[in-house]
Structure 1
């Protein structure tokens, strides 16, 4: 039996987070929500929905993910699989079973939930998100012979493999850093097509010009950093 934990970074997601937690399959042993300096009722709502809730006051997606991993590292019994999931209800949490299947059944190290066009709700990804994903994965294909098509945040990875990546990005580059390091360490990986819908609330990254620009800079920076490593 594989022990699975879910890490959900959340910034002001009081309207969405209970839905996310509710739809996560029962095979998960612990749902860990990291409130990333939320100013609304995200913490209370997530606790009432049954999640373990941590607080990380330093703003940044990577900071929140690292906080969750720090918490897990102090537990006596470690998980076999970590699943990362956004707190805005744009993913379908029930598809977690699809994401972990290649790890459980085929011993794959790392699985990305790919937000393919045919399964995306209209306008669920902005044009800049679509272009950014295309550019990043195109560069990874050219430079590293990767087969990624998406930087989707809904992803599953073996816990020991995740530790081996020694993740360090604190903000927008977390997802691409994970993919680049998995490539460098020659981990096995696959993409699983997943559905994607319009999020509840406004995106903190793609919903702002500054967020989009900073994310783009960080992602491209990580790719070129690893090109010359």
Structure 2
């Protein structure tokens, strides 16, 4: 049986993190790792009380949190080292119960990386703001034109073999994390696929798309990352 770890980067998700954790299918994931990314609220306390392993990453940045979780998982003894890493946001916009659908192509040896596509799945009205939809379209179009990669989304809900992930040598510490993974996967000819996932309005306000500054910074970083790894 494959060993599966789920990494959840979390910044001020006190209101949502318990609901995310309680919806993860029992017995499917061997360990849930919540990376508390410099939160000023009770995210870490709530996540720990709900049964997650909590790691602290004081340096702000989505990529920083993901890198912390990966380092923890990769350093485990061989007997408990995960075969598959799943990434999911902590704001309750993803549906944790769809984790099984996300990892199935890897378990079936049909893919080494799976992106949960909100574009192919059912999306609650208003769950993605217009700038998010446009940004996803622009980024995936550039990935297709420049890398020959056929993605429909940069969705944060994704699964990947740990060895494949480590071979990508991920570096981005902030907004470019997801697109870096997809660009590098295309360059290294990683076997990938997408599965439709359901998406709902997040709990609380997005730290990225919820502000003009966050939106502009994220868009700039994503485009910069695409061209950086050409």
Matched with 2:203 is 200
Matched with 2:177 is 174
Aligned partners of 2:47, 2:220: CA distance in 1, in Å?
Answer: 32
Displacement, 1:72? 1.4
The aligned runs of 1:16-165 (5 Å cut-off) are 16-25=16-25, 26-76=27-77, 77-116=80-119, 119-165=122-168
Displacement, 1:117? 6.3
Aligned partners of 1:146, 1:51: CA distance in 2, in Å?
Answer: 35
Aligned partners of 2:111, 2:71: CA distance in 1, in Å?
Answer: 24
Aligned pair 1:4/2:7, yes or no? Answer: no
Kindly provide the CA deviation profile for residues 88-140 of structure 1, in whole angstroms up to 9, marking residues without a partner as x.
00000000000000000134110000002660000000100000000000011
Flag the 1:83–1:118 CA change in 2: closer, same or farther, 3 A.
closer
Report the TM-score when normalising by structure 1: 0.97
Contact 2:208–2:218 (CA under 8 A) maintained in structure 1? yes
Contact 1:32–1:54 (CA under 8 A) maintained in structure 2? yes
Aligned pair 1:221/2:220, yes or no? Answer: no
Displacement, 1:145? 1.4
Task: Return 5+ residue gaps in structure 2 as ranges.
Answer: none
Aligned partners of 1:90, 1:219: CA distance in 2, in Å?
Answer: 21
Aligned partners of 2:121, 2:88: CA distance in 1, in Å?
Answer: 21
Displacement, 1:191? 0.5
The ranges of structure 1 where at least 4 consecutive aligned residues each deviate by more than 4 angstroms after the TM superposition are none
Contact 1:116–1:195 (CA under 8 A) maintained in structure 2? no
Aligned partners of 2:171, 2:228: CA distance in 1, in Å?
Answer: 13
Displacement, 1:70? 1.5
Greater Cα shift, 195-204 or 115-124 = 115-124
- CA RMSD between the two structures: 0.9
Contact 1:3–1:81 (CA under 8 A) maintained in structure 2? yes
